[in-house]
Structure 1
Amino acid sequence: MPRVVRIRLEKIQRDFLWGGGALEQKPHLVRWSIVCLDKRSGGLGVKSLGAFNRALLGKWIWRFANERKALWNQVIRGKYGEERGGWRSCESREAYEFGLWKAISKMGHQVTHFVGFVVGDGEKVKFWKDKWCETIPLSEAFSSLLALASNKEAWVNEVWTAEGEGGGSWNPCFNRPFNDWELEEVERLFCCLEGKKVR
């Protein structure tokens, strides 16, 4: 929903709640942010249109990743393409492009900061950039090692080397050998990866 429309609708809601109208201005007795709190928190439980709109856009991001066979999904993937991994569509590069899917796609970049992954085969989760091993992406937890990584866009399955039945080891590739002061950081990375594996 466009910001201007949301602001106008919230003004209509506020005016209705406080008994005002187009011709008269009545004072608002409580801040709108308090009115939007749920009843247990002391509010009236009125939905914040901004938060509700973001939640609905986020739901479409989830549906895009999970409803692969739906016709609408195939149309979006056909028009925009999709990023490897299938979690998001590619962004539109056309300057005049606008509309619902552009808003949904924009929300997708905000949603990914709150999404954590459970690794299956490792083909859809980025080793450095997705949140799968820690509460933050490895790129943030080990930024100095990311700077040395030869493939900053590596997928989890590209860094995992399978050995025998269900076994394997982590083999991230770096541009150069480590200096003495970097070894502690490397050890922390491998401690973080310990016990994690690709199926």
Structure 2
Amino acid sequence: MKLYYWPKTRAFRALWMLEEIGAPYELVRVNIRAGEQGAHGFYHVNPMTKLPALDDNGVQVSESGAVLLYLADRFPAAKLGAALDDPLRGRFLQWLFFTPGCFEPAMAEKMVGSAGNTFSFGWGDFDRVRHAVEGALEEGEWLLGERFTAADLLLAGTLQIAFMAKLLEPKGRIGDYVERAVSRDAHVRAVAVEQRELAALKH
């Protein structure tokens, strides 16, 4: 398993997921500061020239949500997804698609101060997505209730970015949710890998 990776990018989501799964993987560094993501070889892995991207013995997947869904289905024993016959499969997919399809566009819109179009845009606006998250967390510790999944990993990691960008305060139900997620052993291990990679760049 190869993860195309660079520190301080969205590739951290896939790194965290791989640590949750416990499958062996290799980091393939793509130096986005030097423009390596635009190289011909990587363009064929991800034509959007973004991270993360994954190569599983020749099966190539890009886009964060797709990578996490692929890994959840590929390693069902890790219980980070929902099987096709699981009644929670629909909810799992809904929330997995929610982060890149609704939360991130609403974040970007708020960061640049765009008035947006709450009628035409699928995400409505930032307040709407925030209320959606808060509503989901009224029903349990995680988006699927008592079960942590890749959808939580993706959303919690993105909420951390929202906290850093001062779009949200890390408090209340959402703050507690993120704290639970980042306290997981796999997240701690992924952070250690990231710190190791960052330290290697300084030498």
What TM-score do you get using the length of structure 1 for normalisation? 0.24
Q: Which has the higher contact order (CA 8 A, sep 6+)?
A: 2
Work out which of the two has the higher radius of gyration on C-alpha atoms and give 1 or 2. 1
Q: TM-score, normalization: structure 2? A: 0.24
Q: Which has the higher helix share?
A: 2
